[in-house]
Amino acid sequence: MTLAIQARGLTRRFGAVLAVDSIDLEIEEGETFALLGPNGAGKTTFISMLCTLTRPSGGTAVVGGFDVARESLKVRRTIGIVFQEPSLDDLLTGAENLRLHCLLYGVPPREIEGRVERMLRTVGLKGREGERVRGYSGGMKRRLEIARGLIHRPRILFLDEPTLGLDPVSRRAVWDHIREMKAAEKTTIILTTHYMEEADGLSDRVALIDRGRIREMGSPEELKRRVGGDIVRLRGRVAPRDFAGLDFIREMTHEDGGVRLAVDDAPRRLKALLDRCPAASEVEVRRTTLEDVFLKFAGRPLKNGEDAPGTDEEVR
Ligand SMILES: Nc1ncnc2c1ncn2[C@@H]1O[C@H](COP(=O)(O)OP(=O)(O)OP(=O)(O)O)[C@@H](O)[C@H]1O
Ligand SMILES: [Mg+2]
């Protein structure tokens, strides 16, 4: 196992605010890792320290084999960054922004045009590359930002809220591209998000972060299992004894007019359940989401009541 990232007691204070509170974390090469948490949880601050953009108040971090404090230049050469704050040059065209970035990152000059072409197609900006970025829409800027983070083919890629503010079509295109990068280049990807679908559908592992600390960590499936299973409600002629001996049922309660079950991976078990109660008249399945996981381990909801577009979508 080779580690892409190793953080030990990583901490950052801003005055009285403890933005990141002594985080220990190891991420393997090739992993896609999501930090999921509400606004102000410390996501951006944490990855800014890994990217050498923010100095830690305490602790250490090694990224791509280099220490973020002592070898920041080498860290920067190893990583790609797509951050929340736009950092494009508004007065340059889309293509010029990409070329400039290639030069800064030492892409061999004869490869630059080819890569620019390919990236423009990937993010759906081909045909608009000759226009100044100033005239781009928010979504176009975001996609150009992503193209720029990828074009020098970093070994480790940091994406801070990669699809914030994108329409559903662009969001899906970005998700697809992240999956392709992972498959083709074995890029290690660290992303932050407060969309549970994004964390769920893209990542090998998710860390739930709240108030500067990691509250729980694991694969999306593991995390959901820790909550206690999907909920299946059956109504009509059905009783708990119908399900005796089914080992995938974790909890069974009698409730008005039927039975409530907690079940691991309910969609896969549904047939077996219905076979046991052919006279049931109604069935309802509610899958556990990372939202439930967050509520259980952080003790409060993931959403802060802000508008969260795209939460009705699934990443598939
Ligand atoms: N430069 C700064 N100066 C002062 N306080 C800061 C600074 N940057 C972050 N903070 C504080 O640190 C805490 C964590 O902020 P951070 O931006 O890391 O959260 P986040 O999880 O990325 O939130 P969001 O989802 O809104 O992007 C917040 O309380 C924030 O106000
Ligand atoms: Mg942030």
For the stretch 97-114, pLDDT in tens is: 999 999 988 899 999 999
- Which residue's CA lies nearest to atom 3 of ligand 1? 14
Residue 4 near residue 155, CB atoms below 8 Å: yes
- Which residue's CA lies nearest to atom 13 of ligand 1? 19
Ligand 2 centroid to 38 CA: how many Å? 9
pLDDT for 110 = 96
- Which residue's CA lies nearest to atom 18 of ligand 1? 42
Q: Which atom of ligand 1 is nearest to the CA of 42?
A: 18
Which ligand ends up closest to the CA of 160? 2
Ligand 2 centroid to 190 CA: how many Å? 13
- Listed in sequence order, the residues at least 6 apart from 196 whose beta carbon sits closer than 8 Å to its beta carbon are 36, 289, 290, 291, 294, 302, 311
Q: Is the CB of 288 under 6 A from ligand 1?
A: no
pLDDT for 7 = 98
**Domain at 229-287, CATH from 2.40.160.40, 3.50.50.100, 3.30.70.260, 2.60.40.10:** 3.30.70.260
pLDDT for 79 = 94
* Ligand 1 site-directed mutation target among 18, 43, 57, most atoms within 8 Å of CB: 43
Q: Is the CB of 169 under 6 A from ligand 1?
A: no
- pLDDT < 70 positions in the chain: 1, 84, 304-316
Q: Is the CB of 32 under 6 A from ligand 1?
A: no
Q: Which atom of ligand 1 is nearest to the CA of 20?
A: 14
Q: Write 96-104 long-range contacts (CB < 8 A, 24+).
A: 97/133, 97/144, 97/148, 98/129, 98/144, 98/147, 98/148, 98/151, 101/148, 101/151, 101/152, 102/151, 102/152
Ligand 2 centroid to 225 CA: how many Å? 28
Q: Is the CB of 12 under 6 A from ligand 1?
A: no
Nearest 5°: CA angle at 33, between 69 and 287? 150
pTM for the whole structure:
0.84
- Which residue's CA lies nearest to atom 6 of ligand 1? 14
pLDDT for 311 = 40
Ligand 1 centroid to 173 CA: how many Å? 28
Ligand 2 centroid to 132 CA: how many Å? 27
Ligand 1 centroid to 46 CA: how many Å? 9
CATH topology of 3-219 equal to that of 229-287?
A: no
Ligand 2 centroid to 12 CA: how many Å? 14
- Which residue's CA lies nearest to atom 11 of ligand 1? 19
CATH homologous superfamily for the domain 3-219: P-loop containing nucleotide triphosphate hydrolases (3.40.50.300)
Enumerate the domain spans of the chain. Answer: 3-219, 229-287
pLDDT for 309 = 42
* Orientation of helix 94-104 relative to helix 109-122, angle to 10°: 130
- Which residue's CA lies nearest to atom 16 of ligand 1? 42
